[in-house]
Amino acid sequence: MKPRVTIVSHPMVTEQLTLARDKRTNQVAFRKAIYRLGRLMAYEFLRTLDTEASTVETPLGRTSGGKVKGDDKIVIVLVLRAAIPFVEGMYKNFPMARAGVISAWRGGPPDFPIEVTYAKIPRIMKDDVVVIADPMLATGHTLLEVAKRVMEHGRPKRLAFFSVISTMTGISYVAKAFPRAEFYTCAIDPGLDERGYIVPGLGDAGDRSFGTPR
């Protein structure tokens, strides 16, 4: 089965992605770009939710209207630490979302072992829409481990992964275990380097947002 991938494309997405990729972009501007990309991706994702038709009285008459249904069923899972500004932006368009937080540290090649040291995940209901947010979907090892941990808390109606930049290697790796999952990304880059970083990518998203740890 082919992975279900949506490339979120919009001139504003291109602009913010270009800023985020640019090595001259400083920490504050980088975080702002990731925040804006989260907001834009959430906005686009709202198209996939149902809407409820209604009518509305204006001061001058009556017309048709509607509202988004099910935005209170969204559960965002924030993968520390790179997803902090990304999720902050998503909240602008998912204000009713419940949230989970998970820390996943990825070791080096060839196995890229994942160490989860903290996980606070809400109970997942069967009509929930779970969105796992990590700006970089590189090898897929982190997201696969995170998704497995999240699924221990219940099976949602939909499972979506939000990443700013992905690779097909990473998407295929996660999709093998979660074939019905949906992948939303702003770009699919061609490669990975020997450390598992996306090339050309944007570098280390956590370091660029928050500085390099000593």
Choose among 86, 93, 88, 91: nearest CA to 17: 86
Say if residues 75 and 129 touch (Cβ distance below 8 Å).
yes
Residue 4 CA to residue 25 CA, distance in Å, equals 32
Q: Rounded to the nearest whole angstrom, what is the least distance from the CB of residue 33 to ligand URA in the complex? A: 14
When the beta carbons of 74 and 136 are compared against ligand URA, the nearer one is 136
Minimum CB separation from ligand URA for residue 186, in Å? 14
Least gap, CB of 50 to ligand URA (angstroms): 34
The Cα-based distances of 185 to 167, 173, 181 in angstroms read 10, 15, 13
Closer Cβ to ligand URA, 95 or 200, answer by number: 200
> If we measure between CA atoms, which residue out of 5, 41, 44, 37 comes closest to residue 18?
37
Cβ closest to ligand URA, residue 70 vs residue 201: 201
In the complex, the smallest distance separating the C-beta of residue 36 from ligand URA, rounded to whole angstroms, is 18
**Applying CB under 6 A, which residues contact ligand URA?**
82, 136, 138, 197-198, 201, 204-206
Are β-strands 61-68 and 51-58 bridged in parallel, bridged antiparallel, or unpaired? antiparallel
Strand pairing category for 114-120 and 98-106: antiparallel
Query: Quick one: 43 or 197, whose CB is closer to ligand URA?
Result: 197
| Closer to ligand URA by Cβ: residue 122 or 203 | 203
Q: Is 59 helix (H, G, I), strand (E, B) or coil?
A: coil
Shortest CB 189 distance to ligand URA, Å: 8
CA distance 79 to 138: 14
Question: How near is the Cβ of 204 to ligand URA at its closest, in Å?
Answer: 4
Beta strands at 4-7 and 182-189: parallel, antiparallel or unpaired? parallel
Question: Based on CB atoms, which residue is closest to ligand URA, 7 or 96?
Answer: 7
Compute the C-alpha angle 127/128/130, nearest 5°.
Answer: 150
